[in-house]
Amino acid sequence: MPYYVPETFTQKLKRKCKEEPLVPIGMGLTVFALFKGVSAFRSGDQKTSQQMMRWRVAAQGFTLIAATAGMLYYSNKPKPDPNVIPANAVPLFPPTTTSSSSSNPPSA
């Protein structure tokens, strides 16, 4: 029977950031360049705005490469033994309880 280990959103976020730390760094750089570029555009500084938009594209590229590299790394990593069930595992498909009494036939 397949099992999964339940985790909250914050637990999953922490685990993913530990597994692939370059992705959140790239996302932060992208957001920083975007806001800095928009701020420069609003103030009329075209040179800085254009430079920040180029940095944003570079940061997005870095993030994409980091995510792809992490995906490739973890796809080649050995999988855990499926016969070992963690202590906090929950069945993916819980067993259904059926009534086996034949004295009450289903009504039509």
Instruction: Give the model confidence (pLDDT) of 12-50 as tens digits.
Output: 999 889 988 999 999 999 999 999 999 999 999 999 999
Using alpha carbons, select from 97, 23, 2, 13 the residue that is nearest to residue 66.
23
The pLDDT score that the predictor gives to residue 39 is: 95
Instruction: Answer yes or no: pTM beyond 0.75.
Output: no
Angle at 54 between CA 24 and CA 33, to 5 degrees: 45
The predicted-structure confidence for 47-84, as pLDDT tens digits, reads as follows: 999 999 999 999 999 999 999 998 898 888 777 776 77
| Eight-class DSSP state of 88 | T
How far is 52 from 30, CA to CA, in rounded Å?
9
pLDDT of residue 47: 95
| Exposed/middle/buried for residue 62 (C-beta within 10 Å: 0-12, 13-18, 19+) | middle
Domain boundaries in the chain? 21-75
State both tokens at 57: 């594209």
